[in-house]
């Protein structure tokens, strides 16, 4: 503990603050249990010191190690179970007892009229040097956008104005 902090005895000897009193009232309202004011004061004042204490830190480390060991054991158990299932399936397959799963029937494909077959690139003529010229593959034709529709002129636009 650093020199600028009060010792535990000094904190315990101090009078409860307004926060401690409100917290004790809140505990009573929420739980129906009337706590001792000094217990509430000490719990509030010493909680962070407890969190930092070596005893609490070693307890937390022990809990983490136990949880990690439990996770490793759970993974090993699951792996053993899956390996046993795999061995059983392989034995059934080797004996020929396992039914062969047939693929599910596919839905009938929609019949469409065949479009122009894609043509392969045409071999380029051999140049005078004896090596063929590079061939550019044909790309698929893309749909052209339709031109803008022409609209009929409006009746009042085509009639010239006359003075009456």
Residues 6+ apart with CB under 8 A from 38: 12, 16
| pLDDT (0 to 100) of residue 142 | 76
Residue 33 lies in a domain: yes
Q: 145-160 burial, b for 16+ CB within 10 Å, e for fewer?
A: eeeeeeeeeeeeeeee
Position 35 in a domain: yes
Residues 6+ apart with CB under 8 A from 122: 135
Average pLDDT over residues 79-89: 95
* pLDDT above 90 for 23: yes
Considering the chain, what percentage of its residues have pLDDT values greater than 70? 70
Tell me if 10 is assigned to some domain.
yes
Does residue 29 carry a pLDDT above 90? yes
Range of the domain at 27: 1-52
94 in a domain, yes or no? no
* 14 within some domain: yes
Give how many domains the chain has, as a whole number. Answer: 1
E strand map for the chain: none
3-class DSSP state for residue 1?
A: coil
* Averaged pLDDT, 126-130: 60
Compute the average pLDDT of residues 129-149. Answer: 74
pLDDT of residue 127: 55
Q: pLDDT digit string (tens) for 40-54?
A: 999 998 899 899 999
- Provide the CB-side half-sphere exposure for 33 (13 A, CA): 7
Residue 27 near residue 33, CB atoms below 8 Å? yes
pLDDT confidence band for 141 (50 / 70 / 90): confident
Give helix 37-52 / helix 54-95 axis angle, nearest 10°: 60
159 falls within a domain: no
Q: Is the pLDDT of residue 70 over 50?
A: yes
Q: Taking the mean position of all CA atoms in its chain, how far away is CA 28?
A: 42
Q: Residue 95's pLDDT band (boundaries 50, 70, 90)?
A: confident
Q: What share of the chain is helix, strand, coil (3-state, %, to 5)?
A: 50, 0, 50
Task: Tell me whether residue 164 is in a domain.
Answer: no
The span from the CA of 26 to the CA of 38, in Å, is: 15
> Which pLDDT band, with edges at 50, 70 and 90, does 143 fall under?
confident
In the predicted structure, residue 14 carries a pLDDT above the cut 70: yes
Cα Rg of the chain, angstroms: 43
Helices (H), 53-144: 54-95
Q: Do 57 and 63 form a contact (C-beta atoms < 8 A)?
A: no
* Whole-angstrom distance, CA of residue 117 vs CA of residue 105: 28
* Any domain includes 116: no
């Amino acid at each position: 503990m650093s020199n600028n902090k009060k010792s535990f005895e000094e904190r315990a000897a101090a009078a409860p603050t307004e926060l401690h009193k409100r917290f004790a009232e809140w505990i009573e309202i929420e739980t129906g249990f009337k706590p001792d004011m000094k217990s509430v004061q000490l719990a509030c004042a010493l909680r962070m010191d407890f969190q930092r204490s070596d005893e609490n830190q070693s307890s937390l480390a022990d809990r983490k190690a136990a949880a990690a060991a439990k996770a490793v054991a759970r993974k090993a158990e699951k792996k053993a179970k899956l390996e046993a299932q795999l061995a059983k399936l392989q034995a059934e397959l080797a004996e020929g007892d396992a039914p062969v799963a047939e693929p599910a029937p596919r839905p009938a494909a929609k019949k469409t009229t065949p479009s122009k077959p894609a043509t392969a690139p045409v071999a380029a003529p051999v140049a005078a040097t004896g090596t063929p010229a590079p061939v550019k593959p044909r790309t698929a034709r893309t749909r052209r956008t339709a031109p803008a529709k022409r609209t009929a002129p409006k009746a009042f636009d085509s009639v010239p104005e006359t003075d009456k």
